[in-house]
Amino acid sequence: MYSLILVAIGLALITHAVFRWMEPSALLVIANAAMTFLAVAVHAIAFSETALFVALLRAVVLNTVFFASLVASIAVYRLSPWHPLARFPGPAWAAMSKWWMVHCILIKGGRHLEMQRAHRQYGTWVRLGPNELSVNDPTAIAPIYTQLNRSNFHKGAPAKADTMITVIDRQRHAERRRTWTTALSTKANEIYGIYAKRRLAELLHHIDRSRSKDAPVDIDRWVNLFFVDLAGDIGFSGGFETMKDGHDKDGWMEMLGMGVRFVTAMGQVPWMRDILQLLPQRGPIETFHSFVEAKVRQIREEHKTKSMRVDIMGTLLDESAGAARLSTDEAVADAGLIIVGATDTSVQTVLTALRFLAADPYRLRKLQREVDTVFGTEHDDEIAVNISELLKLPYLNACINESFRILPPGPAGPARVTGPEGAVILGRWIPPHTTIHVPVYTMHRDPANFGPLAELYIPERWLSEAEQTEMITATDDPCLTLSALTPCNRQAFMPFSAGYANCVGRALGLQNVKLTLASIAHRFAMSSERGFDPAMYDASYREYGLWTHDPLRLQLSSR
């Protein structure tokens, strides 16, 4: 038995040597364990003449020894000075295993704060995983996001095919990106603007009906439902009517929320996906899958009869106009991306602005005065606004920028990976196959980039000195000085990622969030709900790739 234990330890060390440069494939490790188990059991039965029970017990012991030795060997190596990333500082747990990050995400919901703490403690470069680095320096954005390929982070999602955001091959990415660019062109966005105005009139109508003199409005729920319906219009020319139903009766929003949470956690340990993929997928995932599959079939039929649809999926499938050929599975995967891309990122940005503006009469009035100049003085549900005029409003732009800055969607920063030759970033050698990213939340709140008041929501930091002086005089806060609002380092502002795989929906995203915030601010007078505790509300924020928080409720009245 002792010699067999030594063999198990030896096998564990060999297995570690084989998997050293990669996250192991879970299925391979399981297959390996199963075969060892079987071999030991067969050997014990055939040659040692022991009872079956004893033979199986031995196999269990030897497998346990094998796995314990494997884990110990991996942990010791990752913490050792021989590891290629040993010279980068960081929390020991992070260097030892990616499960530390999974724990920060799933259990604490506070990865953004852990990362911020780690950078404050260890400096610009932090080792955040066995093979992962975070660089809190805006000058690292260009080299990381132009030179390096996307990492397999997004592959945490159980899917039958790649979505646009998981394609790693640069040529295939470029092909698919070309069609997405057409689907989100300026011309297409003008049409999506018409869809948005129609849905906004509906949103304002529902909010108006749901408000009463005393009870606050659950603005969180309405903004969420609005963006789901709009994503259906823009993505597939309709299909969702959650505002009309008053709730998301199919549970898609919940599914997508859970999905993003799951992907963010599994993206840390992508090999786990192999195992989870084997589990049956039921409920809303299947409903969504069937819904999208039916839409894809319908659009393909329509293309045969040459009737053109103006929506993203219609363009992605329009091969006669040069679209890259998509399999049905790829189209279904992209459909999920349309919903994720066009909903939560925008919802959170609008809610962040509403949370701060409703608690700040001076800034709310300033925004309302500005939007009135393009909406006119009729404060009804109709949205008769010239969108290109609206997009130029400087204070609206400053409020939205500040929302993106203070609570950026994708706060950890999109992950990229060095190739087999490694890379040089900011003069430092980064070994091959190292995941690397810029910590967006940390960078956006770094006083080096946004001054000593970087943790506060101050839209004026994006405006001229004259505007800042006016605000400082009006608010009469001794902490607010011109120098406290500098610097405002635009190079360190990265809500839409950067480089070849940055957000292709940036213009549409900006159009949607500006239009939504402006329409609500134009239509309603608002304040925080009675008893609102800003510190408690802000502390309720959890980060799972996207944000979750306590519901935001506002006191609203007609203007």
Under the rule (CB under 6 A), what is the footprint of ligand HEM? Answer: 150, 164-165, 177, 180, 312, 337-338, 341-342, 345-346, 349, 409-410, 414, 495-497, 501-505, 508-509, 513
Could you tell me the smallest distance in angstroms from the CB atom of residue 477 to ligand HEM?
30
Q: How far apart are CA 208 and CA 379, in angstroms?
A: 12
Could you tell me the smallest distance in angstroms from the CB atom of residue 548 to ligand HEM?
16
Question: Given the complex with ligand HEM, which of 312 and 332 has the nearer CB atom?
Answer: 312
Q: How far apart are CA 229 and CA 203, in angstroms?
A: 10
Structure tokens at 501: 């795989």
Question: Given the complex with ligand HEM, which of 330 and 529 has the nearer CB atom?
Answer: 330
Q: How far apart are CA 241 and CA 223, in angstroms?
A: 13
503 is in an annotated binding site: yes
Q: CA 481 → CA 362, 473, 485, 488, distances in Å?
A: 17, 10, 7, 14
Reference 400, options 297, 495, 326; nearest CA is 495
Could you tell me the smallest distance in angstroms from the CB atom of residue 164 to ligand HEM?
4
Question: Given the complex with ligand HEM, which of 131 and 511 has the nearer CB atom?
Answer: 511
Kindly list the strands in the beta sheet with 149-150, ordered across the sheet, starting from the edge strand earlier in the chain: 125-129, 132-135, 435-437, 416-417, 149-150
Q: Kindly state the helix (H) or strand (E) to which residue 332 belongs, with its residue range.
A: helix 328-342
Q: How far apart are CA 144 and CA 415, in angstroms?
A: 9
Q: How far apart are CA 43 and CA 24, in angstroms?
A: 27
Could you tell me the smallest distance in angstroms from the CB atom of residue 196 to ligand HEM?
11
Q: Kindly state the helix (H) or strand (E) to which residue 528 belongs, with its residue range.
A: strand 524-528
Which region, left, alpha or beta, applies to residue 123 given φ > 0 means left and ψ of -120 to 50 means alpha?
A: left
Question: Given the complex with ligand HEM, which of 74 and 296 has the nearer CB atom?
Answer: 296
Question: Given the complex with ligand HEM, which of 59 and 338 has the nearer CB atom?
Answer: 338
Question: Given the complex with ligand HEM, which of 177 and 433 has the nearer CB atom?
Answer: 177
Could you tell me the smallest distance in angstroms from the CB atom of residue 174 to ligand HEM?
9
What is the SS3 assignment for 127?
A: strand
Q: How far apart are CA 253 and CA 249, in angstroms?
A: 9
Reference 73, options 151, 112, 19, 125; nearest CA is 19
Q: How far apart are CA 445 and CA 440, in angstroms?
A: 9
Could you tell me the smallest distance in angstroms from the CB atom of residue 284 to ligand HEM?
20
Q: Kindly state the helix (H) or strand (E) to which residue 388 belongs, with its residue range.
A: helix 387-390
Question: Given the complex with ligand HEM, which of 111 and 211 has the nearer CB atom?
Answer: 111
Q: Phi and psi (nearest 5°) for 129?
A: -165, 170
Q: CA 75 → CA 6, 80, 83, 101, distances in Å?
A: 19, 9, 11, 15
Q: Which residue is nearest to ligand HEM (CB)?
A: 505
Question: Given the complex with ligand HEM, which of 83 and 154 has the nearer CB atom?
Answer: 154
Q: How far apart are CA 375 and CA 389, in angstroms?
A: 10
Question: Given the complex with ligand HEM, which of 342 and 364 has the nearer CB atom?
Answer: 342
Q: Kindly state the helix (H) or strand (E) to which residue 416 belongs, with its residue range.
A: strand 416-417
Could you tell me the smallest distance in angstroms from the CB atom of residue 167 to ligand HEM?
7
Could you tell me the smallest distance in angstroms from the CB atom of residue 305 to ligand HEM?
26
Could you tell me the smallest distance in angstroms from the CB atom of residue 342 to ligand HEM?
4
User: What residues are designated binding site?
Assistant: 503
**Which residues carry a binding-site annotation for heme?**
503
